[in-house]
Amino acid sequence: MTGEMWLRALATELGVPAPTEQEATDLLDLASTSAHASERLAAPLSCWLAARAGIAPAEALAVATRLAERTGDPD
């Protein structure tokens, strides 16, 4: 089963629409930003927090990007 197939099937089981292509891209970028600014565990949990907050993936990515810029290493 591909990742896309899995997401469609899981979305059906959860009774929600599967992410659009743009939403999927934004969520992956959110996960990447979170993991690079912190630890790997921050990636999936940041996506969960975005969903819990009820905001779009793009908005969550913008918030995470600002947070990463404020808290990142000054290298």
Q: Is the pLDDT of residue 55 over 70?
A: yes
pLDDT (0 to 100) of residue 22: 97
Report CA-CA distances (Å) from 13 to 2, 20, 34, 36, 60.
Answer: 16, 17, 27, 31, 24
Q: What gap in Å lies between CA 18 and CA 21, rounded to an integer?
A: 9
What pLDDT digit, counting tens, does each position of 5-54 carry? Answer: 999 999 999 999 999 999 999 999 999 999 999 999 999 999 999 999 99
Contact status, residue 57 vs residue 19, Cβ threshold 8 Å: yes
- Banded model confidence at residue 72, pLDDT cuts 50, 70, 90: confident
Indicate if the pLDDT at residue 75 is higher than 70. no
